[in-house]
């Protein structure tokens, strides 16, 4: 229980280009896990960031897969999960949010709350995940600080509780007012932001003498927020009704150390998780965990597969034999690793809140529960999002057909795309289903670079998908032009696809007995 209390497991969420990967890098720098912060595009001759390790991520400067980083900070053990911000990869982000105890919501100072940020916050609200807000890029021109706080109240109903407040408007960042003790923390730049920014703490009188009107404005604005209900109250943060707010610049490492300190001091430690029966499993019960991500290609030399599991209860010890509750079969944990982006090291012991990497985990799938001893425990499975885009995949080189099939199976097991089988095309031409079209780009790139199996994709015209509840009606659906039935490879579910809503409506009028049901918006 003492070890569990030291754990802080959180995700960083935001709209694309708000600076998630840069912030993740800055947090690792301030925790002294790395000696120099990389850049998303390798700017100024610097290396890339540790969380964006796929070649496609480094080339395009966008996160396309989640990444886990575990490191110590003071007496705490931090499990930090960086998420892809692009809506096309929202399924990956949703799964990551199932494995954390809190989240850092990153806002671009110039753009405020953006559509994808709002959607991700809704997921946090549904799961009662406490959210801490970090306003990024204050070194660039942007909105007024009070305007950003008003957005939090008006658009998502969260009361802002500032812990730091900017001195100087966006684009002229001098430092921050520490709202808890009233002091001024002034930052000094370092070359390109590659190392931690220097900090100097001044008392209020010195701050007034040196910063003048900027300091007066900062103090007046924080007093206004405090008077309107923005005074810090930890219980409101834990209840997910209010959000602590900090300001900074991840690329310059301004304000990042304070964010890390706040996460360690205030973010909740692990709490008991409920199983499928709704029973909370105590943290000191025998070992249990659930798999929220599967990834291959992390070690190109070995082509192994890693399953990422969140420990929910008990103590994990490398080498223990656990049970996969989905299959009822034993699973040996001989190869367990601690992960820092692409870097991995042997892990001997883990506690509730930790994220462990299980290597050579071909028998594990996303959503599987692992447990030790009896009785068995099973946590709720993770949903598959309703796909909106479909494409037939064929090997561009028939001589690479074996590698093509292996790659397709692997990408399907990871959840990069959903793999569907059709009677009319056969197993040699599976249909890939995706939430967004960028998933096809990722799948094609990885098939070519990791499996040496270039692929040709033929987009299909379908835009409406329903679950076919009666398999005997497959022929009925396929008798209508503009519709067909495909089977999801991972679980055998039959999906009825239609060109548009009109095609489905006509079929329903002609055959009122048609048994199809809608996939839940966002997730099935």
- CB of 130 within 8 A of CB of 267? yes
- CB of 362 within 8 A of CB of 276? no
What secondary structure letter does DSSP report for 286? S
Strands 7-13 and 288-296, by their bridges, are unpaired
**Does the annotation place 101 within a ligand binding site?**
no
**Distance from C-alpha of 118 to C-alpha of 15, rounded to nearest angstrom:** 9
**Coil, strand or helix at 472:** helix
Q: 229: which strand partners?
A: none
- The rounded Cα 394 to chain-centroid distance in angstroms is 30
**Does the annotation place 85 within a ligand binding site?**
yes
**Does the annotation place 326 within a ligand binding site?**
no
CA-nearest of 125, 123, 93, 115 to 11 is: 93
**Does the annotation place 84 within a ligand binding site?**
yes
Q: Which whole-number Å values give the CA distances from 419 to 88, 365, 375, 522, in the listed order?
A: 16, 14, 34, 18
Q: 493: which strand partners?
A: none
**Does the annotation place 426 within a ligand binding site?**
no
- Contacts by 142-146, CB closer than 8 A, 24 or more apart: 142/108, 142/109, 142/110, 142/111, 142/170, 142/171, 143/109, 143/110, 143/112, 143/170, 144/169, 144/170, 145/170, 145/221, 145/247, 146/221, 146/224, 146/225
Annotated binding site: 82-86
Query: Which residue numbers belong to the known binding site for GTP?
Result: 82-86
């Amino acid at each position: 229980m003492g070890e569990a209390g030291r754990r802080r497991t959180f995700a960083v969420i935001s709209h694309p280009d708000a600076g998630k990967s840069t912030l993740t890098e800055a947090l690792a720098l301030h925790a002294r896990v790395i000696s120099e912060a990389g850049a998303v595009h390798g700017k100024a001759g610097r290396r890339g960031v540790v969380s964006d390790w796929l070649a496609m991520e480094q080339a395009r400067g966008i996160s396309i897969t989640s990444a886990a980083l575990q490191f110590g900070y003071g007496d705490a053990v931090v499990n930090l999960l960086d998420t892809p911000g692009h809506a096309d990869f929202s399924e990956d982000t949703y799964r990551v949010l199932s494995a954390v105890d809190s989240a850092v919501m990153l806002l671009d100072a110039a753009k405020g709350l953006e559509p994808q940020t709002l959607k991700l916050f809704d997921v946090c609200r549904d799961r009662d995940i406490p959210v801490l807000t970090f306003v990024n890029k204050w070194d660039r021109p942007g909105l007024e600080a009070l305007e950003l706080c008003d957005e939090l109240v008006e658009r998502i109903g969260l009361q802002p509780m500032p812990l730091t407040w900017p001195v100087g408007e966006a684009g002229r960042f001098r430092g921050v007012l520490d709202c808890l003790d009233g002091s001024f923390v002034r930052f000094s730049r370092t070359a390109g932001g590659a190392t931690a920014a220097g900090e100097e703490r001044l008392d209020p009188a010195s701050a007034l003498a040196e910063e003048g009107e900027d300091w007066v404005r900062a103090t007046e604005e924080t007093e206004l927020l405090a008077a309107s209900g923005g005074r810090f109250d930890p219980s409101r943060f834990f209840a997910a009704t209010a959000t602590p707010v900090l300001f900074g610049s991840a690329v310059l490492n301004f304000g990042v150390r304070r964010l890390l300190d706040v996460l360690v001091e205030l973010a909740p430690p692990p709490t008991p998780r409920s199983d499928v029966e709704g029973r909370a499993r105590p943290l000191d019960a025998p070992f249990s965990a659930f798999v929220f991500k599967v990834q291959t290609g992390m070690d190109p030399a070995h082509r192994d597969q890693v399953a990422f599991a969140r420990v929910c209860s008990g103590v994990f010890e490398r080498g223990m034999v656990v049970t996969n509750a989905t299959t009822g079969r034993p699973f040996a944990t001989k190869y367990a690793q601690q992960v820092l982006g692409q870097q991995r090291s042997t892990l001997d012991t883990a506690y509730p809140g930790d994220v462990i990497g299980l290597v050579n985990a071909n028998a594990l799938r996303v959503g599987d529960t692992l447990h030790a001893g009896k009785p068995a425990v099973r946590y709720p499975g993770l949903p598959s999002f309703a796909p909106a885009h479909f494409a037939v995949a064929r090997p561009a080189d028939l001589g690479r057909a074996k590698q093509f099939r292996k790659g397709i199976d692997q990408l399907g097991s990871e959840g990069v795309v959903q793999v569907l089988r059709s009677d009319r095309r056969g197993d040699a031409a599976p249909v890939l289903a995706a939430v967004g079209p960028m998933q096809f780009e990722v799948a094609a790139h990885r098939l070519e670079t990791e499996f040496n199996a270039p692929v040709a994709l033929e987009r299909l015209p379908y835009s409406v998908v329903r679950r076919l509840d009666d398999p005997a009606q497959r022929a009925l659906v396929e008798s209508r032009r503009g519709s067909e039935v495909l089977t999801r490879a991972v679980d055998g579910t039959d999906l009825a696809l239609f060109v548009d809503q009109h095609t489905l409506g006509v079929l329903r009028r002609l055959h009122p007995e048609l048994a199809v049901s809608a996939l839940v918006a966002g997730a099935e």
